[in-house]
Amino acid sequence: MKFITFLLTLMMITLFSTAATAQKTLRIGTEGAYPPFNYLDSDKKLAGFDVDIARALCAKMGGECTFIAVPWEGMIDNLVAGDYDVIIASMAKTEERQKNIDFTGHYYRSRSAFVARTGHDVIFTDEGLKGMSVGACNNCVQAQYLRDHFSSGPSLVLTDDTNQLFELLATGELDIVLSDSLNCLDFLKSERGADFDFAGEPLPSDDVSSSAHMAVRKGELELVRRLEEALEQLRMDGTYDRINRQYFPFSIY
């Protein structure tokens, strides 16, 4: 009798615990202002490469997902505060960020590049940029790059998101913008970007800005493992390539 009770208890515990893991929804934080990776579509719904990859990951991990759009500025603080469980927002893995959060392996790679008006020849040194205004998004790796490399020449302009950045470039308030090359491409292909072009060389590929990672709260290595495993499966079964093709004409992994 005691044994049967014990068995029943054991079964109940197992049942509940599996139910608990299955029921737990994964909350995903993203920016929603970084086309074509994450942006609000015409219906004001989150869309983009990051969002689609996140949805596919959820499907692979067998749970439900909810998305929360957060300004870039408070993205990490809100994760740490527990507003959501994962950041999938084309975030670069920097040493400073790693102090507060943990990262998965990269889920795409793309180098950063400068954009300027077509025919505008620029020499990318402090001297060459003297008197120009160069923009990047605030708290971005690109902003850090500009601070590290062009501290004395140009005047730096930092915006909350890249949409504002390109707006300023189009209106002529900025001379040069530094952002992710795919993000830049989105602008260059748009109507207002017709008179602009890539300028100079892209940032070196070993710069932290050249790969995007998912981020979780410090120490949640089990979640990191599950995310990486799911990503590996997406890559193997072709889902990743399908999503990739939808946004970019070539593979960006």
Partner 1 sequence: MILFFRSFWHAPRLGRSLVVLVLMVSLLLGCSGVMLWLRMSRIASFAKDTRDEQLPIFLAQQRLSNNIERLRFYGAVILHAEDAGERRSARLAAQILANDAAFERDPDTADKILRTFSNMRLIESLRLKEEKDLLAEHSQLTDGDDIKILWQETSDILRELSDNISSRAVSQAARFSTMIIEETDAARTTAFIAFGLTLVILFVLLLLFYKAVAKPLLAIANGLQKVYGTREVVRLPPTRLNELQTITQGVEQLSRLMNELHCANTDLEILSKIDGLTGIGNRRQFDSHLENEILRARRRKTTTAVMMIDIDHFKSFNDTYGHQQGDHCLQQVARTISLLFRRPGDVVARYGGEEFGVILPETSLAGALASAKRIRDAITGLQIEHAAAESGKLSVSVGVTAFVPHAKSLPEGYVSLADMALYEAKRSGRNCVHTKLPKDI
* Residue of the chain from 63, 198, 200, 228 that contacts partner 1 (CB under 8 A): 198
Quick check: 183 binds partner 1 (CB under 8 A)?
Answer: no
Q: Smallest gap, in angstroms, from Cβ of residue 117 to partner 1?
A: 14
* Residue of the chain from 117, 120, 149, 235 that contacts partner 1 (CB under 8 A): 235
Query: How far apart, in Å, do the first and last CA atoms of the chain sit?
Result: 58
38 or 209: CB nearest partner 1: 209
173 or 201: CB nearest partner 1: 201
Q: Dihedral sign, CA of 47, 50, 51, 55?
A: positive
Site mask for partner 1 (CB under 8 A), range 50-89, x = bound: ----------------------------------------
Q: Which helix (H) or strand (E) holds 81?
A: helix 75-81
Quick check: 202 binds partner 1 (CB under 8 A)?
Answer: yes
- Between strands 101-109 and 211-217, the pairing is antiparallel
Quick check: 243 binds partner 1 (CB under 8 A)?
Answer: no
Burial of 198 (0-12, 13-18, 19+ CB in 10 A): middle
DSSP 89: E
CA 224 to chain centre: 16
Residues 6+ apart with CB under 8 A from 75: 29, 31, 87, 89, 91
* Residue of the chain from 73, 83, 160, 197 that contacts partner 1 (CB under 8 A): 197
Enumerate binding residues for partner 1 (CB under 8 A).
109-111, 113, 181-182, 185, 188-189, 194, 197-198, 201-202, 205, 210, 235, 249-251, 253
